[in-house]
Structure 1
Amino acid sequence: MTLSLVLAALWGLAANIIALLPSRDHHWRSAYALIAVGIPIVGYVTWQNGPWVGLAVLVAGMSVLRWPVIYLFRWLRTRVSGGAAR
Structure 2
Amino acid sequence: MSLSLILAFLWAIAANVLAMIPSHDNHWRRAYALIAVGVPILGYVTYQNGPWIGLAVLLGGMSLLRWPVIYLGRWMRRNVGNKDADA
Q: How many angstroms apart in 2 are the aligned matches of 1:68 and 1:21?
A: 18
Q: Which residue of 1 aligns with 2:61?
A: 61
How large is the Cα RMSD of the aligned pairs?
1.2
Q: Which residue of 1 aligns with 2:29?
A: 29
Structure 2 gaps, min length 5: none
- TM-score, normalised to structure 1, is 0.94
Q: How far does residue 80 in structure 1 lie from its aligned partner after superposition?
A: 1.8
User: Is the deviation greater in 75-84 or in 43-52?
Assistant: 75-84
Q: How many angstroms apart in 1 are the aligned matches of 2:17 and 2:43?
A: 23
Q: Which amino acid aligns with 2:31?
A: A
Runs of 4+ in 1 over 3 A off after TM superposition: none
Q: Which residue of 2 aligns with 1:40?
A: 40
Structure 1 gaps, min length 5: none
Q: Which residue of 2 aligns with 1:2?
A: 2
Q: Deviations over 1:37-56 (max 9, x none)?
A: 00000000000000000000
Q: How many angstroms apart in 1 are the aligned matches of 2:81 and 2:19?
A: 34
Q: Which amino acid aligns with 1:9?
A: F
Q: How far does residue 81 in structure 1 lie from its aligned partner after superposition?
A: 2.4
Q: How far does residue 75 in structure 1 lie from its aligned partner after superposition?
A: 0.3
